[in-house]
Structure 1
Amino acid sequence: MMAEVLTLLVFSLLLLFCIVKNVSVLIALFAGLVLFTIYALYRKFTFGEILRMMLAGVKEARTILIVFSLIGMLTALWRAGGTIPFIIYHTVSVIDPKFFVLFSFLLCSLVSLLTGTAFGTVSTMGIICMMTGKALGIPDFYLGGAILSGIFFGDRCSPMSSSALLVSELTRTNIHRNITNMMRTSIIPFILAVTFYAVTGRLESSPQVTGEKLSFFAQSFNLTPWVLLPAAVIIFLTLLRLNIKVTILCSIIAGILVSIFCQGMSVYELIRCMLIGYRSGNAKLAELMDGGGIASMFQTMLIIAISSSYFGIFRKTNLLDKIKQWSFMVARRSTNFAAVLVVSVITAALSCNQTLATMLTYEITEKMFKDREKLAVFLENSVIVVSALIPWSIAAAFPLTTIGAPKSSIVYAVYLYALPLWNLVMSYVDSRRGDKSVI
């Protein structure tokens, strides 16, 4: 017992040190890998056995790593082909500025749903909303909270979302059925968020937002409706419930065709774009649109690979058994969702990143559930959004830093609170009906 506590305490201190010193979390994760290896050796496992544990963990995440590579290529092509510029240019130009905070939430929700990436959304639509909102005189606090809420709407429930795929792979469930459950459990929280932003974010007077402020999009891209083809492919094939890898691959093919025939890109430019991301020669456009590519996913993929290797060790060494016992006690005294939510707050605060927090929460709580789909949606309604509410977590720090919003904006990210709290209330209501884990 003492060895387990000491191991987890040292790992937590390593993470805390990296946070305080603003050091890459990868260093703490590498150090954690060494630490857990030492613990396994203490438990009399050989180096060969430990290596097999690590490889078994990474093997479970191979599908995620492949999809991450595809998503990196796709987000670059959606930039280069004009898909994202088209959405931004034509959407921002028709909004009512009196409700710009609400529109920022809705626009970021839409783009994150289409792209499946919170970081990609905040780097495009999030920056656009912040830039335009500042021109309207809206405080950063309000814009930051609405944008943070919106970018994690799709990050949670898009068929292209890496977090949705991660949960699907961990729980061995169908991602499309998970999305259906996620949508169903988020209706009320979404309505509450829309109402909240409509009431609190309303401006009595402000200048008109026009497409002229974003004219460099029209000057840099051929914004024909054909550029929406990659997004249409994603939506159509998702409705058909095709395999996620096939869906993304088809959208990549559509993105390649659009980039060639609509934007006049060469094969060399396309390959370069898919590998290192879209790069614009226009400084103003580059500030908003540069990004994507396999290279942009490398750090996240490395985090997933290292985090995955932990779980082979955790399973064989039973390092998390005491925490599991504690979580079962919480579940017995409340509900299964309450236990998952409490564990997710702890893991998100300790791990500093959404991926590791999700894996830890899954590993600790999985034995509570016979129904894997319930476990999947509970994870999506807790740890996936809770990670964005931890100020020092990458899930919160990166988006807010990217758009230049204060950390206090987390307070205004009401959708991220409403979702777990609503499901917590419903779990207690359902427990009175005899089921502690109804979704």
Structure 2
Amino acid sequence: MERKQMNFMWALVPIIVMIAAMGVAVIKLEQDPHVPLIIGTATAALVAYRFGAKWHDIEQWMYKGITMALPAVVIIMLVGLTIGAWVGGGIIASMIYYGLQILNPTFFLVTIVLICGIVALMTGTSWGTMGTVGIAAMGIGMSMGIPAAMVAGAVISGSYFGDKMSPLSDTTNLAAGLTGTDLFEHIKNMLYTTIPGLIITLITFGILGFKFKTDKIQSNEIDGILTTLNEQFVISPWLLLIPLLVIILVAKKVPAIPALLIGVILGFIAQITVQGGSLLDAVNVLHNGYSMDSGNAMVDELFDERGGLFSMMYTVSMTIVAMTFGGILEFSGILQVLVGKLLKYVKSVGGLITSTIATAFATNATCSEQYISIVVPSRMFVKAYEDKGLHSKNLSRALEDGGTLTSVFVPWNTCGVFIFGVLGVSAFEYAPYAILNFVVPIISIIFAYTGFTIAKLSKEEVAAIQAQREEV
């Protein structure tokens, strides 16, 4: 059967069906997003078939989508192992124990944004930061009486600031590489939107932090938590060397997988040698997570059923299901049709950049993968930016502002699912507090319409692009 040109209305059908199914299942019935995504995948397959795609092609598109997510799946499983090993080894307990004694509740949220930002900047990974420092921050903040959603927002804001601005970050390199922009020129250009966003974030969390003054914290509750931690774990500052080593390894450009694996092994050894656990207990924690019944409700909430490979299977299954949907949308041409329609109505520079950010967010919502939200719009918009005489760093910045940062707001996106699995807070809860992630896209749109920091191509660069097109 010959492939036919797909029209806009048919391309819109899978999106409408998926959103409607998601609204019923997730919002009304309060169920997981897996089934709505499967319904969306089936609809996209039928639409593609309607326009001449063979089942073999559709199957391959789903496999390609899943293949794109396999690196993320491996990281997700390793993070689950890391959490289990670090909880069982007393590493997380030691971080919380000393954090409760050092950090001031009034400035806790600001401090966490800065710490997570520095760690993610050094390592280039928001996921690694949230899966290590973020977990400890959640424990400390909740122990201080700060709402979990608020702490999660601070962790996410800091982690994504560092990830976005790090030359080691995969998304940063991806956005620069796909648009043909020098990496450090791309990072420098992002400072214009990201630094104001960080300042607004710190001021906001500083104001929120004053609600949690020291005198409002029940010192007897903190003492109870510290006592329970001492009873349940061997607390030692030496255990903090394990996460420090992992951070140093990644900062030294050791790939994330072997670096995390070293952290898992050291945590596993710590559970046996330092905590006195048996080999059977340590292996069980890696698979099923850590179990605790200390009698202290707060401590049990922090540590019981935490980590382990099995705890990440929800996230893994969500990632695989989401990427089957994203794969069909990407490789069948459905997304290209939708974006092509959008470009017909874009007349100004402000409209073009706003459309890029909106498309990146829409791709996050429909394809459920952060990387696709950078890959697809970069392909779709690159010529439009050149035609308007805009430097490629405008496009690369818009891709990061609209794609990298907004991925956390979609509960069924791999980033939203990962955060829920690691921090235990859903996207609907932490969204108002992921301040940097929604402030930066707004700043980017404002700059687009005012022309502030929008770089234009020189005459020589325009001539070089035209000559290259003629040669092709």
TM-score range, shorter chain: 0.7 to 0.9
Q: What are the superposed Cα offsets for residues 328-369 of structure 1, whole Å, 9 maximum, x if unpaired?
A: 454963276533322244455x55xxx705355335412134
Q: Confirm or deny: 8 A CA contact 2:84 2:289 kept in the other structure.
A: yes
Is 1:32 the counterpart of 2:3 in the alignment?
Answer: no
Indicate the percent of aligned positions where both proteins have the same amino acid. 18
TM norm structure 2? 0.73
Compare CA radii of gyration and give the structure with the larger one: 2
SS in 2 for 1:12: helix
**Matched residue, 1:49:** 57
SS in 1 for 2:144: helix
Q: Confirm or deny: 8 A CA contact 2:112 2:154 kept in the other structure.
A: no
Aligned counterparts of 2:126 and 2:333: Cα–Cα separation in 1 = 39
Relative to structure 1, is the Cα distance of residues 301 and 373 closer, same or farther in structure 2, using a 3 angstrom cutoff? farther
Aligned counterparts of 1:377 and 1:74: Cα–Cα separation in 2 = 33
**Matched residue, 2:244:** 232
Aligned counterpart for 1:89 among listed residues 78, 91, 97: 97
Cα displacement (A) at 1:191: 3.1
Structure 1 residues without counterparts, runs of 5 or longer? 135-139
**Matched residue, 1:63:** 71
**Matched residue, 2:355:** 339
Aligned counterpart for 2:293 among listed residues 278, 281, 295: 281
Relative to structure 1, is the Cα distance of residues 283 and 276 closer, same or farther in structure 2, using a 3 angstrom cutoff? farther
Q: Confirm or deny: 8 A CA contact 2:318 2:412 kept in the other structure.
A: no
Structure 2 residues without counterparts, runs of 5 or longer? 1-6, 384-390, 459-472
**Matched residue, 1:430:** 453
**Matched residue, 1:293:** 308
- One-letter code of the match for 1:292? G
Aligned counterparts of 2:445 and 2:316: Cα–Cα separation in 1 = 32
Aligned counterparts of 1:10 and 1:363: Cα–Cα separation in 2 = 24
Cα displacement (A) at 1:311: 3.9
SS in 1 for 2:454: helix
SS in 1 for 2:306: coil
Relative to structure 1, is the Cα distance of residues 6 and 271 closer, same or farther in structure 2, using a 3 angstrom cutoff? same
**Matched residue, 1:5:** 12
Deviates more, 1:226-235 or 1:112-121: 112-121
SS in 2 for 1:278: coil
**Matched residue, 1:386:** 406
Cα displacement (A) at 1:192: 2.9
**Matched residue, 2:215:** 206
Relative to structure 1, is the Cα distance of residues 101 and 62 closer, same or farther in structure 2, using a 3 angstrom cutoff? closer
Is 1:250 the counterpart of 2:262 in the alignment?
Answer: yes
Q: Confirm or deny: 8 A CA contact 2:18 2:40 kept in the other structure.
A: yes
Aligned counterpart for 1:192 among listed residues 180, 186, 200: 200
SS in 2 for 1:320: helix
Aligned counterparts of 2:67 and 2:355: Cα–Cα separation in 1 = 28
Aligned counterparts of 1:406 and 1:57: Cα–Cα separation in 2 = 26
SS in 2 for 1:429: coil
Q: Confirm or deny: 8 A CA contact 2:157 2:434 kept in the other structure.
A: no
How many residues align? The count is 416
Aligned counterparts of 1:125 and 1:76: Cα–Cα separation in 2 = 16
* Cα root mean square deviation, aligned: 4.2
Q: What are the superposed Cα offsets for residues 63-116 of structure 1, whole Å, 9 maximum, x if unpaired?
A: 222222111111211211122221211112223344455456557768987863
Aligned counterparts of 1:50 and 1:114: Cα–Cα separation in 2 = 33
TM norm structure 1? 0.77
Q: Confirm or deny: 8 A CA contact 2:78 2:261 kept in the other structure.
A: yes
